[in-house]
Structure 1
């Protein structure tokens, strides 16, 4: 088998489409399609087929091929790092996936100092609300606000912080009679959203007619004077536009988990980044 062609199959599997694979490999979709067709012809087995909905998906043989190909990829990665000395060098790319507010409010303000100490490490911060797959190697590290429900083979997860919450209103005009800024119904599962819903059942407080779909939207709504809401203190404490209200006091914690590949845990660049992330949350949680 041609290893370069197998890379195209891996990219298709991880992206879920020809166009997505093309974006990952920085080629056009026609090239991806051609390389995959050549791979199937070379081994004489159909690896990809059209589903009932018309989309392309891996066959059973394709899934088996992916399993073995990922093992080969891991072995080659280890060999490469050993031969080049990259295991001991703080250099190379590290991809981190997290929700937008963690990247913008927690990691980004600390990046300048990190870059000065580790100039050889190239940080790729992906802001996304979906849970990316480490087993598919869509990222190197993932920060999750809550205990991970998925993981997979060769993935480690550890809790690095527990975030306390408080009620915040706009600075200079924070009052306990402001309307509550609730979350969009798609985000009603969040701990702070559930707490506000329960709190409202016991009183006559008003709700705002604005319902953002993420925490950054809630923060901006508060800063604009539209109401008050519940926010993790580690995120709100550095925003001068917000003011903490003493009452009520939400009794809730939200765990922060760091996930990464076990086979990369010994790489110097991964060690440096994971320690940096843990240190940030350790210093700022409260």
Structure 2
């Protein structure tokens, strides 16, 4: 950033903002606990610094000029940032109340997190929760979310990660579909079965073929990028799909396709921005999720 291009005094910008929001110099002076002439001089000095007229001074009092209307939003953003800085410096950033944004996969968001969020809301009703259900990784560095539940460990140095353990998954199919296949007991019995395709199908084919299957892309005639849609297709007997056992074993319409098959595993990570160290609300929710999901 070229700091030489910033050629105005913040105190004068604050005087302009409060005057615009209060509607008059007298009201703004009271809000800032200063005299009206002093406030007026600050607004006038800012106009000289910026080279624009900010207010029209007429019989109806002060009204923002077109330039003033354009600039006031920028100064308001500066005011909000200054307020957050002041709260942080005074320790009020430790407040529990406020918003928290959590991002997780569709399966996690639909089947696992609702009771956990319900319990969190009972414990801390002042926390407003936004839940992003997406199989794409939100960018925590750009603050697209506060906390992420991911299947991979982040590599960025300014992110904090905690491994929650391994997610154990199996192949599942509708009971009726397995009966149609003859209730196979070995990978060979599923080599002509239909599977539900999703992202990285090549990786899944490779993983299953290492376990004794002989699958090709022709085994995946139906494709969806949505895990919830995939699970519904499995439940309706369209094909075989992968699901964590905590979800799959609880569904009465399906069975494990091969109960003796070695399970598929993936690590689960809880990730947050380094602000976790200084923001009590983020720290509390992070620790709570770690406890519930472990």
2:165 is matched with 161
**How well do the aligned residues superpose, as a CA RMSD in angstroms?**
3.4
2:116 is matched with 110
Q: Scaled by the length of structure 2, what TM-score is found?
A: 0.59
2:229 is matched with 217
Distance in 1 between the 2:196 and 2:208 partners?
A: 7
Matched, 1:254 2:266: yes
Secondary structure class of the residue paired with 2:119:
helix
Q: Aligned match of 1:80 in 81, 84, 87?
A: 87
Asked whether the 8 Å contact 2:194–2:221 carries over to 1, the reply is no
Of the structure 1 ranges 137-146 and 265-274, higher mean CA displacement relative to structure 2 is found in: 265-274
Unaligned runs of 5+ in 2: 1-5, 11-49, 51-80
- For the structure 1 residues 132 and 76, does the alpha-carbon distance in structure 2 shift closer, same or farther, using more than 3 Å as the test? farther
Q: Aligned match of 1:120 in 108, 119, 126?
A: 126
Asked whether the 8 Å contact 1:93–1:122 carries over to 2, the reply is yes
- For the structure 1 residues 78 and 181, does the alpha-carbon distance in structure 2 shift closer, same or farther, using more than 3 Å as the test? farther
- After superposition, residues 23-102 of structure 1 pair within 5 angstroms as 77=84, 79-83=86-90, 85-87=92-94, 89-102=95-108
- Structure possessing the higher radius of gyration over alpha carbons: 2
2:73 is matched with none
Could you report, residue by residue, the CA deviation over 1:26-57 in whole angstroms, capped at 9, with x for unpaired residues?
xxxxxxxxxxxxxxxx8xxxxxxxxxxxxxxx
Distance in 2 between the 1:187 and 1:202 partners?
A: 17
Unaligned runs of 5+ in 1: 4-41, 43-72
Deviation at 1:275, TM superposition (A): 2.4
Q: Scaled by the length of structure 1, what TM-score is found?
A: 0.61
Secondary structure class of the residue paired with 1:114:
helix
- For the structure 1 residues 139 and 208, does the alpha-carbon distance in structure 2 shift closer, same or farther, using more than 3 Å as the test? closer
2:200 is matched with 187
- For the structure 1 residues 162 and 109, does the alpha-carbon distance in structure 2 shift closer, same or farther, using more than 3 Å as the test? same
Q: Aligned match of 1:234 in 234, 246, 259?
A: 246
Deviation at 1:216, TM superposition (A): 2.1
1:18 is matched with none
Secondary structure class of the residue paired with 1:131:
coil
- For the structure 1 residues 239 and 264, does the alpha-carbon distance in structure 2 shift closer, same or farther, using more than 3 Å as the test? same
